[in-house]
Amino acid sequence: MAIESTGAAEWDELAAALNAYGVFHVAPTDRARKAVPPIGELYRRLALASDPRLQEAFVVLLLTHPATAGVARAAIDTLTGAAHDRAERRYVAAAALQRMWRTRLALAMGPQPSIPPAYLDELGLPSLEEDFGEAALRRLAEQEQARYGYNAWSGYRSLMDMFLGHCRLRGWGRTRA
Amino acid sequence: MREPTGRRKLEQFLAALGRALRRPIRLYLVGGTVLVDAGLRGATLDIDFTVDADDATAVADFEKVVPALKDRLNVNVEPASPADFMPVRQGALGKSRYVRNYGPVSVYYYDPVSLVLAKVARASERDMADVETMVRAGLVDWAEVEAAWNEVRERPTGWLRHSPDEIERHLAATRSRLNIQAAVPPTADDDRSVQVRQHQRRGRTVRAHWRRPPPRPSGPAQESC
């Protein structure tokens, strides 16, 4: 198992790994080539990351590679405590956002498999089919705001604006790992 | 986060606004708010609007009143306009549809054609469903949407959120969803005796040309020879 690093080193490792999976909205400060972890390990490391932008990148990675949803869930299963809770919520957010923006995502990246529903019952969330996924995301955001104190709804909207702007770019999603 | 707004809450907000204001003001409902008011959708997250008045003091009064109403009625109220997403057609406000009055507040549906184009520009699944609803309910004529798009697409500015090419792709997806074939409107250079329509065949866009019949001469019907 890789030794988790912290701070700038963590940022560089995980940003470089994201880039290797075709996710370019973050970049390492040190461009020296680094070993790229398998995508399951990357999901786990993102969920454990200290920087919120890297934690959010879990959503971006899953939206970019929805076929790896099973691998993402397996990674979540290895987590405990707050990291496990946050990762479950990010998985649901990705699944909801994918349904909310299905046409735009298909135009940008081609048809994609749906991220299968998961964790809805244990988090007390409505079906992803309700209101094109918006009902689940709204309820999720309310819970996060109550639990963690930040405006999660605005956060998810900004994240999706960013993703929709980036995912049309040449090379997005292209894996060199 | 406040709860989404249904028709009853929207009605309460508009009625309260009408009681609170003294000077005439025009309130243009925008986005999903139009569909809620028209009974075509159950609820919307925000009451989206834009305002206009002949007297600037009326707008100032409106801006003072709205925050208190938001809190009292527990609604999200957001200034918004299709022009936030892309250029709008000439005279869009004038093409808005008068609905009713609440005291001095005249309520309109912002130009439905511009609303549809803004939703096509954003193209969330909710937006696509709303466009389909508006077209099928007869709230908007698709030929007018195409004409408005042809008018605005050449504008040099207003494309910070979505480029014309991007919106054109969204439009193609919308046409496909509505099972509408794109009609290519004639330009000044076109031979007006030739009609051009384009349609999809095996995933490719095909343009078909045929010559229009000459106009019949006026007068009594001619017997065939």
- ipTM for this prediction: 0.90
Interchain contact A169–B (C-beta under 8 A): no
* Neighbour-count burial of A101, counting CB atoms closer than 10 A to its CB (0-12 exposed, 13-18 middle, 19+ buried): buried
Percent of chain B with pLDDT over 70: 80
Contact with chain B for residue A138, Cβ under 8 A: yes
Task: Please list the residues that pair with B47 across neighbouring strands.
Answer: B77
A102 vs B contacts (CB less than 8 Å):
125
Q: Which of B1, B166, B173 sits opposite A103 (nearest CB)?
A: B173
**What pLDDT does residue B183 have?**
59
pLDDT for B225 beyond 50: no
pLDDT at position B181: 74
Per-residue pLDDT tens over the stretch B135-160? 999 999 999 999 999 999 999 999 99
Which A residues 96-135 touch B at CB under 8 Å? 99-104, 107, 131-134
If you measure CA to CA, which chain A residue comes closest to B173? A103
- Best residue of B5, B125, B171 to probe chain A, by most A CBs closer than 10 Å: B125
Predicted confidence (pLDDT) at residue B206 exceeds the cutoff of 80 = no
A160 touching B (Cβ < 8 Å)? no
pTM value is 0.84
What's the CA gap between A67 and B148, in Å, rounded? 40
Distance from CA of A63 to the nearest CA of B (A): 15
Q: Report the residue from A103, A132, A133 with minimal CB separation from B123.
A: A103
- CA-CA distance, B50 to B64, in Å (whole number)? 15
The pLDDT, as a whole number, for residue B224 is 38
pLDDT higher than threshold 70 for residue A43: yes
Report chain A residues whose CB lies below 8 A from the CB of B170: 103-104, 107
Average pLDDT over residues A12-19: 93
First to last CA, chain A: 18
Do the Cβ atoms of A104 and B124 come within 8 Å? yes
CB B68 within 8 A of CB B74: no
Mean pLDDT of chain B: 86
Kindly state whether A25 is in contact with chain B, defined as any CB-CB distance less than 8 angstroms: no
Q: With contacts defined as CB-CB under 8 Å, which chain B residues touch A153?
A: 1
- Cβ A145–B1 below 8 Å, yes or no? yes
pLDDT band at B204 (very low <50, low <70, confident <90, very high): low
Instruction: Check whether B213 has a pLDDT greater than 60.
Output: no
A37 pLDDT exceeds 80?
yes
Output b/e per residue, A28-49; b: 16+ Cβ within 10 A. Answer: beeeeebebbebbbbbbbbbbb
pLDDT of residue B209: 54
pLDDT, chain A, mean: 92
Write out pLDDT tens, residues B162-188: 999 999 999 999 999 999 876 555 454
* CB < 8 Å to B173, chain A: 103, 107
Mutation test of the interface with chain B: which of A97, A99, A102, A104, choosing the one with the most B Cβ atoms within 10 A? A104
Q: Alpha carbon A3 to chain centroid distance?
A: 22
Percent of the residues in chain A that have a pLDDT greater than 90, as a whole number: 82
Residue B114 pLDDT greater than 50, yes or no: yes
Token pair for B217: 């001469």
**Which residue among B1, B128, B129 sits closest to A153, beta carbon to beta carbon?**
B1
pLDDT tens digits for range B66-103? 999 999 999 999 999 999 989 999 999 999 999 999 99
User: A153: which 2 tokens?
Assistant: 């709804």
- What is the C-alpha to C-alpha distance for residues A61 and A43, in angstroms, rounded to an integer? 8
More confident residue, A1 or B21: B21
d(CA A39, CA A51): 19
Would you call B126 and A132 a contact, using CB atoms and an 8 Å cutoff? yes
Chain A interface disruption, residue of B124, B132, B165, B175, most A CBs within 10 A = B124
Is the predicted pLDDT of residue B42 greater than 80, yes or no? Answer: yes
What pLDDT, on a 0 to 100 scale, did the predictor assign at position A34? 74
pLDDT of res. B3: 81
